[in-house]
Amino acid sequence: MSQTGYSKVQIYSSSTATNTPSASNLTNDTNGSELAINITDGKLFYKDNGGTVQVIASKASNSGNFANTINVPNTFGFKNRIINGAMTANQYVSSAVTLSSSVQFPLDRFGVAKSSGATITAQQSSTAPAGFSNSIKFAVTTGASPSSSDYNVFFQRIEGYNFADLNWGTANAKSATVSFWVQSSVTGTYSIYIRSGDNNLSYLANYTISSANTWQQVSITITPPTSGTFNTNNTQAIQMSWDLGSGSTYQGTANTWLSGGYVYTGTQTPLSAVTGATFYITGVQLEVGTQATSFDYRPYGTELALCQRYYQYLGGSTTSGDQYIASGMCNTTVQARFSYIFPVPMRTSPAVTFPSASNFNVYSGAVTPLVTAIVTPGVVDYRYMGISATVASGLTVGYGALLLAENTTSSAIQISAEL
């Protein structure tokens, strides 16, 4: 090699265990440096500019010691910024969701919505590629070509705290790569889109399903935006989205950041137009960098806890019998108050949906439970909520009390801090 600035290197070898070269015996000047390898220990040494002998490589069975940071941004820790990407967690116990203009969740963290004449259902499925157990299945029961203002989409909204390190909207913005496994009965071109949390910017990209009813993995690298607003707190940073058939109002150009809310590139066959069409997706991963890496399998308990930051489901079980969901005390002869600590602190103070029917009993003092007429929340915080239960009569002030949710899905309390 004759390049200016480089000189020859000589390598010396030792077979003596633990024999480490001394600094005085290794040169590192511009006339030629030396390396030393210990073939018994399986270590390679050099002398750095400070005159210290360093190990720069060791055999696989040796542990590695790193004096500085390891710069492999998408390999360690919270690699996948998508939560529930393997579609395993499903606190939403309904069997299927029929898409409407209101955002609904067929399983945790993935929202669906549509504005079209098509009838589309979405639900958790056990159909999955090798290495996965679940997916989301979309089924078009009645197809309809989208009009100009129609959309059929699903998405996951990502919280700013989980995305801030990508520095989107700044000169230091980092590339991201989304990958997923997909299968559809309808071949052709499909679109994904990413929106800023304030809906002012969109990025579209296409992928192709080339073989019907066959799992394939898709990988798309997103050019990072250096301007725009991407929240870095507990509000929405971005929305990672998939189009299932939308109209010309939402048509935009692929592979560039656009001002406004766009959904598709206009080149695909809309799935929503095909009666009987199916579409499955799982293994969704969004990571830093320009390469898709292996799926970030997290323990199920971890994944569920991540989901519960956004949604929790209390009571409403039909498999565990009546459920004591909270303990408290009677503050009047007709009212008891309870405290419920969320198992996971939520993203923000949640909205709480109580069933309209009287599906709760109060146990206090007497053996016979008292059927409640009204159950309402008390103080609601991101960490806990109070519950008030009002009965006709029979409570004793100061007595302890238990709140029981009956063994029916009708007793479900839904707690939502979704983005």
347 sits near another protein (criterion: CB under 8 A): yes
When asked if residue 214 is in the footprint of another protein (CB under 8 A), the reply is no
Under the binding rule (CB under 8 A), the answer on residue 378 touching another protein is yes
Contact in structure between 204 and 266 (CB atoms under 8 Å) = no
Tell me whether residue 323 or residue 331 sits nearer to another protein (CB atom).
331
According to CB under 8 A, which residues from 320 to 339 bind another protein? Answer: 331, 337
Q: Is 415 exposed, middle or buried (0-12, 13-18, 19+ CB in 10 A)?
A: buried
192, containing H or E segment: strand 188-196
Which range in 60-68, 142-150, 166-174, 348-356 contacts another protein by CB under 8 A?
Answer: 348-356
DSSP 4: T
CA 119 to chain centre: 27
> What's the min distance (Å) between Cβ of 203 and another protein?
22
- Nearest CA among 11, 49, 345, 291 for reference residue 178: 291
Per DSSP, what are the bridge partners of residue 385? 340, 380
Tell me, residue by residue from 276 to 315, as one string, x for binding to another protein by CB under 8 A and - for no binding: ----------------------------------------
CB of 156 to another protein, least distance (A): 14
Q: Which C-beta is closer to another protein: that of 128 or that of 330?
A: 330
Give the chain's count of helices (H) and strands (E): 1, 28
Q: Is 262 helix (H, G, I), strand (E, B) or coil?
A: coil
Nearer to another protein, 225 or 355 (CB): 355
CA–CA separation, 356 and 389 (whole Å): 13
Size of residue set near another protein by CB under 8 A: 23
Residues 72-91 contacting another protein, CB under 8 A: none
**CA distance linking residue 147 with residue 5, whole number of Å:** 64
Taking the complex as a whole, the smallest distance from the CB of residue 349 to another protein amounts, in Å, to 4
The tally of CA atoms less than 13 A away on the side-chain side of residue 89 is 24
Pick from 341, 342, 347, 402: nearest CA to 370: 402
The smaller minimum CB distance to another protein, of residues 186 and 417, is found at 417
234 binding another protein? (CB under 8 A): yes
Binding mask 96-125 for another protein (x = CB under 8 A): ------------------------------
Residues near another protein (CB under 8 A)? 234-235, 331, 337, 347-356, 376-380, 416-419
